[in-house]
Structure 1
């Protein structure tokens, strides 16, 4: 019996719901990272986020009898290295840029993915999917209203590079899905690579002790990141890449809601317009993918 086989469901077949789950969990992780930044450095947050996720996925795989062995190590390494560098660059951008600007740059990955899909994967997406991505990104800009100063050019370029590498990672996730690699194995190799890379980065920074509250925040970051990565991987495995990419903007909507609840950040009419544009982007992508 093949214990690595993943069940499929018509409800999740286009990846839409998996991406919404991922978006919610990534927003939870982002809120916890913001809280955790009061107790830990960026390097430490990257390491704990990856290592706790690695422990969770490893234990889960062992308990369910899933195999760590793969015939596609090169593909995993390409996905893991590009994803790890993207993660580190995005954390750097968040540290150096206004949060709204850094978050917007993160979601340029959808635009880069559309370009890579056309030139690398040799597939011509429909006009509706391109429209969906454009509307979604416009919604992010309207919602977050990013700004950039003269001293932010370097971090800005690094943020863009993070989005580009994330798009490469997503293409590799899709390819691994076509090869039949299960989601948990994809996430395992990614978190293993990210933990090692982040550990080396952490050695160059100051180490902070883990307190009770800080420990709970780290566990929450690792757990939400694990669920988000699994859902993200399933979404790209089972759905069209550009549909999933457009629905990734849902993370921004959830993040704004969390900001309003946890930090009393106001939501003005521009914010509501941005949210509406993001929702329209998701609806267009789902309708386009279903052929309706």
Structure 2
């Protein structure tokens, strides 16, 4: 049996919930890729968080979660700045890059998660985690080599799109590490509600500048995007409250499996052999994320 799925293993629950969350968010990314054809990244981010706020509020009040204290708002506002930057830059990359390229670049985020978790949370990833990260990153490089090699039939992606995807990977990693620092303190419904509300407000000025009236069908898509985003981040908050950020970060690589399915069924993309080879390396890295480690609550706050 796969090590992290052994009965009683403390990583099994958080790992499976994280993989589920990544699946939900990957489906959301596919829907966002579709709406980028007619709407700017700022407007997409604002509508995504507006509908996400409604879904998160419903969960918040249905679970009778206590209202957050004033001191709780400041760290969540700082984290929402990171989340907003991540959303706008990644949505922009989806609009100008192929889905596989944008997602492959985003898979560098577990490397940054492990780095920031060590710097800010005092986590010390073991050899298996470092090897898993290395295998996963090697898989990403294999995919990128094929996608960006013009002589092999690929197409060079734009510099701004690549830069935006890498910025999104860094800010996403910081956001997930700060999630770890708050997940042990605040209920998941509070975390997700504040993230959606604050992010919606933060990206609204950019949304106004890019505004294009959405059709009824587009509004339904945005509603689905908001629901998937809220469900995914609720799962993330639950998982990060129960396991190390550096260990769960490795499972970000499973998004590639979701990306293959979404590309095939939604965009008629047939994966190249090198893409499948990269996916195998990524999956192998994720499977190495096993082993027992004590869950450690962060003793520091991250942010200004």
TM range (shorter): 0.7 to 0.9
Aligned partners of 2:270 and 2:208: how far apart in 1? 39
Cα–Cα, structure 1 residues 27 and 135, in superposed 2: closer, same or farther, change >3 Å? same
Structure 2 residue matching 1:288: 3-state secondary structure: coil
Residue 52 of structure 1 corresponds to 51
251, 259, 274: which one aligns with 1:270 = 274
Once structures 1 and 2 are overlaid, which stretch shifts more, 213-222 or 64-73? 64-73
Once structures 1 and 2 are overlaid, which stretch shifts more, 81-90 or 40-49? 40-49
Shift, 1:284, TM fit: 0.4
Aligned partners of 2:197 and 2:278: how far apart in 1? 36
Q: CA RMSD in A?
A: 2.5
Task: State yes or no: 1:175 paired with 2:181.
Answer: yes
Q: Is the 8 A contact 2:112 2:173 kept in 1?
A: yes
Cα–Cα, structure 1 residues 245 and 151, in superposed 2: closer, same or farther, change >3 Å? closer
- Cα shift readout 1:31-52 (whole Å, capped 9, x = no counterpart): 2112223443322211111110
Residue 207 of structure 1 corresponds to 212
Shift, 1:125, TM fit: 1.2
Query: What is the TM-score of this pair, normalised by structure 2?
Result: 0.83
Q: Is the 8 A contact 1:187 1:229 kept in 2?
A: yes
Aligned partners of 1:115 and 1:232: how far apart in 2? 19
> Unaligned regions of 5+ residues in structure 2, if any?
1-7, 150-154, 295-304
Aligned partners of 1:29 and 1:37: how far apart in 2? 12
Residue 129 of structure 1 corresponds to 129
Residue 164 of structure 1 corresponds to 170
Task: State yes or no: 1:91 paired with 2:91.
Answer: yes
- Cα shift readout 1:32-89 (whole Å, capped 9, x = no counterpart): 1122234433222111111101101112212221123134222212221111112112
Q: Is the 8 A contact 1:39 1:208 kept in 2?
A: no
Residue 231 of structure 2 corresponds to 227
Once structures 1 and 2 are overlaid, which stretch shifts more, 94-103 or 230-239? 94-103
Residue 104 of structure 1 corresponds to 104
Aligned partners of 1:262 and 1:289: how far apart in 2? 39
Residue 288 of structure 1 corresponds to 291
Aligned partners of 1:35 and 1:152: how far apart in 2? 19
Once structures 1 and 2 are overlaid, which stretch shifts more, 199-208 or 262-271? 262-271
> Unaligned regions of 5+ residues in structure 1, if any?
1-8
